[in-house]
Amino acid sequence: MFSDIKNAIINFITHRLFALTVVFFALMAILVYRLFSLQIINGQDYLDNFTIMSKKTITTSGQRGNIYDCNGNLLAYNRLTYSLTFSNDSRIEEQAQSTGKTENAVKNEILYKLIQILEKNGDSIVNSFEIKRNKKGEFVFTNTDENAILSFKKEVYSVSSVDKLTKEQKEASAQEVFEYLKNGNADISEDKMFGVSDDYDDKTALKMVAIRYMLFLNRYNQYVPVTIAMDISEESVAAVKEAANELPGADIESDSVREYNYSPYFSQIVGYTGIISEEEKDTLNKGLPKSEQYTGNEVIGKTGLEQEFEDVLRGKNGTKTVLVDSVGQILQTNDDETLATTGNDIYLTIDAELEKKCYTIMEKYLAGIILSHFQNTNVKRTSSPINITTTEVYFALFDNNIIDMDHLHSAKASSAEKRVYNAIVSSKKSKLKTIRSEILSARTTQKTLSDENQDYMSYIYKMLCDNGIVKSSEVDSNDVTYQDWSNDKISLGEFLEYAIHKGWIDSSNFELSTDYYDTDEMMQALMDYIEEELLGDDEFSKKILEYLIDDGVVSGKDCCMILYDQGILESEKDEDYDKLVNGTMSAYSFMYQKIKKLEITPSQLALDPCSGSIVVTDVKTGKVKALVSYPSYDNNKLANNLDDEYYSKLISDKTSPFLNRCTQSSTAPGSTFKMVTAAAGLTEGVVSNSDRINCKGIYDTIPLSPKCSVYPGRHGRISITKALEVSCNIFFFEVGHRLGTRSDGTYDEEYGLKRLGKYAAMFGLDKTSGIELDENAPHISNQDVVRSAIGQGNNSYTPAQLSRYVTTIANSGTCYDLSILDKQTDSEGKTVKKYKKSVCNEVELDSSVWNQIHEGMYQVVHGEAHGSIFKSLHTEGAGKTGTAEEDKTRAAHALFVSYAPYENPEISVTVVVPYGYSSANAMEIARDVYKYYFSSSEKAAEKKDKKSKKTEDDEQAVVPVSNTLVD
């Protein structure tokens, strides 16, 4: 019975399911019939319009916040502009099908047209590609960091990690990577990579590959347009819009670019922005929620505060949801958009006008120091007083790339340029013949060659090492023959022959007629390689030019005339030009005048001194009012779309303009350190206020007896305040020695260094200054306590660290963490964070110790030695001079740390001039800073007095500075 019921139920369900199935298929048949029979839009079948859509989220970047100075002057902001974007477009595929071309070919033709439009109107593509062409036309990586290059190759070869790269891929040259991206491997079709035709020259092909690579990185987000040109002109906008039908995928979008005021005065502080790289994106996205992560097209801070406070300045991303088809074409935008927001604004403690004034003061004095040592001679003096020769000045125009060497042989070269170029070519041909003879004969030892030929041989050996021909890592530095070469006892040729036998030479770049060769054949091939390399080597051409100028073969007049020919100087309304042409002004006088007028600047010449730093700090808060580093650069040319030519020039600039000398340049403090020694000596009881130490001009208590700066003179018996005033080395040598002497009379170097170092640390010299920028670590000397006591040993500090030190002295004990930040505000102007003063530590010294230090520093400024310098300043101050010798063939560094007013200190001023000859030069710079700061009448004139122009011009006139003080 139960089985009958069961079977009945099964039959019922089976019949019902069968009926439902029949109905389902019937309905499907009707639907299919309707789809094929129903004619819709323009006679197209419904199925032809059926599209598979997917939902995607597009991230929109927020605006960056602004950066202001302490008075609300705008330093960094966003300017509205237009950008050219490119995205996937179904019309590209259609055009390829209709013309029988590949999609690559069609896309490349479109990009070529866009490049032509941009360049015709003075615009350029976004330059973020990791490969460029050097002056020789060779493909090289833009980054020298091996990890960055490997990260780039990881993206190129589409592997998940660097470890997945093959050996060949890891070792691929820039040329090989470029060729791979351009056409792919030989065994794959051109559609696998970019398929850039060989009909395009290398320069154009590189631009096209660069754009295609940006699109390649965006291949998983094809619905997001890629920006290929920023801040384009109205002419380019009009041209692209006019040719829109011929340029599928191209579009014009409203955008913003970062703009900087007060450049170059703030460039090293504010920094600049640029397109994010893949490596930067990976780093910054770590730990960020998906909604806040960076996309491949965003602008980020690259250096300075723009980089340090990226998370503050960057706006919050917005999102919008779109429906896209299978090829990434946007079909619909939904209404659920989240708007992007603007980042916070940052206000600095720095006064823009004070910053600008300090920068111009520094430049003026550097020019004055150069003029005081510039002599009409080509005889170089490397002992004190060191001079600057005409040869050095003329050659400097070429050596620091003020004059473009490539233009000397261009079609537009002037007669003066041609004369210089022909002289170089003729001389190079002769020199190469001599070099071949010297190397192959291997007869003449290095030391018996002329200075010029020694210079050439040393240059060639370095070139061979740099190019990997000499396997430097395999050369045994203890080898006798290598030692003989290092000590100029044998010729370069003899050493190279020996290196061949030892297997230290890589011959893979040579053209050898057979796999079996003897030493002579190898030397001939090596010499052929050297000649070929030197023929196209601009640096070698410069070496030849230096001797041609020195010998008078290339005239100073031609060097000066080229300044006009290349547009560095303007001849119109320049009376010096007329005098130079008609011979009434010599080339020496011409250059003297141009330096004096700052038409040729110290930074352009890159001769000593060409750099300097000034730090002005509020002694009651540690807030920095000026942070000046000279020379600097124009960050507007690097922001957004980097100017590759300008960037390359900055990288090769011998003055290192990217370097913020206030925080990234360290020197020995010299005698500015003596207040630390005074505090240590007085507090540790090794010297008292009433003690008198006898300066005999030489300190014979220790071996290799060091001398006082006045030797063979002497200071006689002096107190600690007098020792600070006259900067007596002997006095502080003795204090250092006493610090190293234990109570039982035994001398212990380590004991003394530890005692002295404790006080250096109390003044904050054991840590970075606190300034919110990248900064070198300080180093308190750990050798030779006697010499360390006068700031020698291996003491090393940045100007910012010295500023904190003297600020602590000025306020008698509060060691602040220095800061350049005042506050953050949101886009509505509401303060969201206030940067309060921060105390690092308190220096607890007896009031009598402070009095001795302050009195000594007061006498430095107002005593007999330097009183005349500060005589014109109506505010009393205090300070300490210092010089530090780093290279005996170059001038000493000049330093001055100070504060004012003396009775109730308001600011400290720290000045450091590398190779500045005399500390008195640094004093004069500081005096002019104080004069500007404290003169209320001058401040008012700077802001509103229409007659101030004459005063400003008079004040900025460069005069030779002839201070010779060394302490």
Give the pairing type, strands 612-618 and 345-348: unpaired
How many beta carbons lie within 10 A of that of residue 280, not counting itself? Answer: 19
Which of helix, strand or coil describes residue 374? strand
**Alpha-carbon torsion, ordered 854, 816, 923, 655, to 10 deg:** 160
Q: Phi/psi of residue 431, each to 5°?
A: -65, -40
Query: What are the two backbone dihedrals, phi and then psi, of residue 765, each rounded to the nearest 5 degrees?
Result: -85, 10
Is the pLDDT confidence value at 463 over 80? Answer: yes
What are the residues whose beta carbons fall under 8 Å from the beta carbon of 639, sequence distance 6 or more?
257, 258, 259, 260, 272, 273, 274
Checking if the pLDDT of 120 tops 50, the result is yes
Q: Is the peptide bond before 901 cis (omega within 30 degrees of 0)?
A: yes
- Preceding omega of 248 cis (within 30 degrees of 0): no
- Output the average pLDDT for the chain: 89
CA distance 708 to 728: 6
- The mean pLDDT value for 206-227 works out to 88
User: Which residues are CB-neighbours of 71 under 8 A, at least 6 positions away?
Assistant: 351, 352, 353
302-311, 330-339, 386-395: which has the minimum mean pLDDT?
330-339
In which band, very low, low, confident or very high, does the pLDDT at 640 lie, cut at 50, 70 and 90?
confident
Question: At 786, is the pLDDT very low, low, confident or very high (cuts 50, 70, 90)?
Answer: very high
Confidence of residue 948 (pLDDT cuts 50, 70, 90): very low
At 574-596, the pLDDT tens digits run 999 999 999 999 999 999 999 99
How many Å apart are CA 110 and CA 603, to the nearest integer? Answer: 44
Question: What pLDDT is stored for residue 50 in this prediction?
Answer: 52
Exposure letters 303-326 (e unless 16+ CB within 10 A, then b): bbbbbbbbebbbbebbebebbbee
Confidence of residue 470 (pLDDT cuts 50, 70, 90): very high
Apex CA 435: angle with CA 433 and CA 438, to 5°?
A: 110
Residues belonging to the chain: 967
CB 523 within 8 A of CB 493: yes
Pairing of strands 67-68, 345-348: parallel
Question: pLDDT tens, 249-276?
Answer: 999 998 889 999 999 999 999 999 998 8
CA neighbor of 740 nearest in space, from 711, 799, 781, 698? 781
Percent of the chain having pLDDT more than 90?
73
pLDDT of 489 reads 93
Percent pLDDT > 70 in the chain is 89
| Mean pLDDT of all residues in 857-866 | 91
Q: What confidence category does residue 14 fall into, taking pLDDT thresholds of 50, 70 and 90?
A: low
With cut-offs at 50, 70 and 90, classify the pLDDT of residue 190.
very low
Bridge partners for 882 per DSSP: 895
For 44, 45, 48, 50, 769, the CA distances from 40, given in Å and listed in that order, are 6, 6, 10, 12, 75
CA distances (Å), 535 to each of 78, 427, 455, 529, in order? 47, 11, 17, 10
Task: Give the pLDDT confidence score for residue 1 in this predicted structure.
Answer: 53
Confidence label for 952 from pLDDT (cuts 50, 70 and 90): very low
Burial of 473 (0-12, 13-18, 19+ CB in 10 A): exposed
* Segment 408-419, tens digit of pLDDT: 999 999 999 999
**Mean pLDDT to the nearest integer, 325-339:** 70
The rounded distance, in Å, linking the Cα atoms of 330 and 647 is 38
Residue 127's pLDDT is 81
Least trusted range by pLDDT, from 481-495, 527-541, 651-665, 933-947: 933-947
Residue 883: pLDDT band (50, 70, 90) is very high
- 53 versus 356: the higher-pLDDT residue is 356
Q: Residue 26 — pLDDT band, cuts 50, 70, 90?
A: low
Tell me the C-alpha distance between 795 and 732, whole Å. 15
User: In sequence order, which residues have a C-beta less than 8 Å from that of residue 946 and are 6 or more positions away?
Assistant: none
| CA angle (554, 556, 558) in 5-degree steps | 70
Q: What is the pLDDT of residue 30?
A: 55
Quick one: pLDDT at residue 186?
44
For 654-668, write each residue's pLDDT tens digit.
999 999 999 999 999
| pLDDT greater than 50 at residue 129 | yes
Residue 943 reports pLDDT greater than 90: no
Element (H or E) spanning 859, and its range?
helix 847-862
Indicate the pairing of strand 226-229 with strand 318-324: unpaired
949, pLDDT greater than 60: no
The predicted structure's pLDDT at residue 370: 97
Global pTM exceeds 0.95:
no
The per-residue pLDDT for 36 is: 47
The runs of H, that is alpha helices, within 572-643 are: 575-582, 587-596, 602-605
Cβ-proximal residues to 626 (8 Å cutoff; 6+ apart), any chain: 350, 351, 354, 355, 358, 614, 615, 616, 929
Q: Quick one: average pLDDT of 863-870?
A: 86
Of the two residues 143 and 931, the one the predictor is more confident about is 931
